[in-house]
């Protein structure tokens, strides 16, 4: 099983400014892959395309043998919810919900909150947050909020986790903690993790690095 990129191109604007130029490659199941490049190189754009959150202007993405261009919206949402987890630079926790309730948010679509509650609590324990389960996001530190966001991404036990600058809003100590969590999840659960980062030390923690220069893979 793998992610396959087939000649991916992406353009924006009425004058069609091209951001990605013919990206072709493969990410194997169980890999931990970093995507790096200067600002404007297209790294976040590529992440959003291979995670199905955006569509390419040309080319196609296949995951586990499934071509996304052949899926309708309902199928795509179902695939995302059961096989993918997402972590962003900002945690995007709902302020009125507790840490545990935020972790369980993805389970609502499949009506599996009750059956996954124990696993959600286990994740919070693994991330040293078991005593924070009933706290609101405003009562958590920035690093704790991001760990809750990672637990939320994992609660459906996805095969793939996509992260866009997951440490970009954290200090170095919390950033290192988050990256250590990713590496542990990758090793222990064999979860495929693909993340965008501008930090070269964090990029080096991946098993493989994809570097973009002006929208081209090098």
SS3 per residue for 86-136:
EECCCCCCCCCCCHHHHHCHHHHCCCCHHHHHHHHHHHHHHCCCHHHCCCC
Q: What is the mean pLDDT of residues 62-74?
A: 84
Q: Kindly report, residue by residue over 139-184, the tens digit of the pLDDT.
A: 999 889 988 998 999 898 889 999 998 888 878 888 888 888 889 8
Considering all CA atoms of the chain, what is the largest pairwise distance in Å, rounded to the nearest integer?
53
- Do 131 and 98 touch, CB atoms closer than 8 A? no
User: Total structural domains in the chain?
Assistant: 1
* Cα end-to-end span (Å), the chain: 24
Q: How confident is the model at residue 34 (pLDDT cuts 50, 70, 90)?
A: very high
CB neighbours of residue 149 within 10 Å: 25
Query: In the predicted model, what is the mean pLDDT of the chain?
Result: 88
Query: Which pLDDT value is given to residue 163?
Result: 92
pLDDT at 67 over 80: yes
pLDDT at 198 over 70: yes
Residue 84's H or E segment, with its range, is: strand 84-87
- Do 162 and 87 touch, CB atoms closer than 8 A? yes
Q: Kindly report, residue by residue over 77-135, the tens digit of the pLDDT.
A: 888 888 889 988 778 899 999 999 999 998 888 888 888 899 999 899 988 899 999 99
CA distance 62 to 112: 27
Sheet of strand 192-196, all strands in order from the earlier edge strand to the far edge: 84-87, 160-164, 192-196, 32-36, 208-213, 216-217
Q: What is the mean pLDDT of residues 66-83?
A: 84
What dihedral do alpha carbons 80, 29, 55, 14 form, nearest 10°? Answer: 140
What is the pTM (predicted TM-score) of this model?
0.88
CB neighbours of residue 43 within 10 Å: 25
Q: What is the DSSP letter of 73?
A: H
CA distance 211 to 147: 26
Q: CATH number of the domain that 11 lies in?
A: 3.40.50.300
Closest CA to 98 of 138, 49, 126, 67: 138
pLDDT at 1 over 70: no
pLDDT at 53 over 90: no
In which domain, by residue range, is 46 found? 2-217
- Do 181 and 152 touch, CB atoms closer than 8 A? no
């Amino acid at each position: 099983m793998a992610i396959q990129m087939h000649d991916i191109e992406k353009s924006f604007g009425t004058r069609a400014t091209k951001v990605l130029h013919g990206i072709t490659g493969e990410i194997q199941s169980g890999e931990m892959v970093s995507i790096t490049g200067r600002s404007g190189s297209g790294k976040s754009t590529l992440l959003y395309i291979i995670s199905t959150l955006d569509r390419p202007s040309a080319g196609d993405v296949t995951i586990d043998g499934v071509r996304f261009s052949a899926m309708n919206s309902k199928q795509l949402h179902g695939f995302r919810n059961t096989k993918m987890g997402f972590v962003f630079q900002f945690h995007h926790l709902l302020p009125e919900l507790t840490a545990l309730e935020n972790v369980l948010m993805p389970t609502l679509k499949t009506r599996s909150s009750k059956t996954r509650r124990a696993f959600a609590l286990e994740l919070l324990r693994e991330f040293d947050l078991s005593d924070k389960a009933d706290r609101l996001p405003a009562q958590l530190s920035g690093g704790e909020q991001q760990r809750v966001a990672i637990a939320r991404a994992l609660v459906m036990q996805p095969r793939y986790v996509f992260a866009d600058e997951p440490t970009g809003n954290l200090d170095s100590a919390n950033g290192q903690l988050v990256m250590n969590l990713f590496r542990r999840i990758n090793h222990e659960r064999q979860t495929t993790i693909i993340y965008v980062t501008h930090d070269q030390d964090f990029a080096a923690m991946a098993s493989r690095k994809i570097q973009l220069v002006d929208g081209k893979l090098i």
